Amino acid sequence: MRIVVLVSGTGSNLQAVLDAAADGSLPVTIAAVGADRPGTGGVERAAAAGIETFVVDLKQYADRGEWNRDLARAVAAHEPAYVVSSGFMRIVDQHFLDAFPDRYLNTHPALLPSFPGAHGVRDALAYGVKVTGCTVMIADAGVDTGPILAQAAVPVLPEDTEETLHERIKVEERRLLIETLAGLAASSAQGGPS
């Protein structure tokens, strides 16, 4: 199953996918890794692994719609079965979503529908929950409102800070993303949605 991964930062989730694909535990081909700005650690990780990379730099566009169209074209050129947002910190528009209907995956560091948005870990701590976690979903036009594919719980410890809790969530998020991609690849191999 071919995937394109989009990153904005260091690419720690991407590294887990690269490692699982390389060791054969994840039956995917990472066709390319794209970023929204130059100089990301994620693109560097991909290049070091011999994966094709591309950058569609949002700062080079006066019009966000044009950026979305160019991003969709850059991704589509690699003919992915799925597009994976792996720490991609940009909201895409309907044009991009229509180019990959029900095939744009996103992860979120909370148990949706609770604590959507950019500060899921901080919001969970502020609310005082005893359990939070992570979600893998199909991204839609809303903010963290798409259909949920998988979730994993992570307990909140009394001594947790936003940083310590987020690190524990990231461990589960990586595992859950790989597990979800493996399930989608298996379904695709058996003639399911691709």
For the segment 30-72, what is each residue's pLDDT rounded down to a tens digit? 999 999 999 999 999 999 999 999 999 999 999 999 999 999 9
For the segment 66-99, what is each residue's pLDDT rounded down to a tens digit? 999 999 999 999 999 999 999 898 989 999 999 9
User: Mind telling me the catalytic residues?
Assistant: 108
CA–CA gap between residue 122 and residue 73 (Å, rounded): 35
pTM: 0.93
- Find, among 173, 167, 113, 101, the residue nearest to 138 by Cα: 101
pLDDT at 194 over 60: no
For the segment 120-151, what is each residue's pLDDT rounded down to a tens digit? 999 999 999 999 999 999 999 888 999 999 99
Residue 159 burial class via C-beta count within 10 angstroms: exposed 0-12, middle 13-18, buried 19 and up: exposed
pLDDT at 192 over 70: no
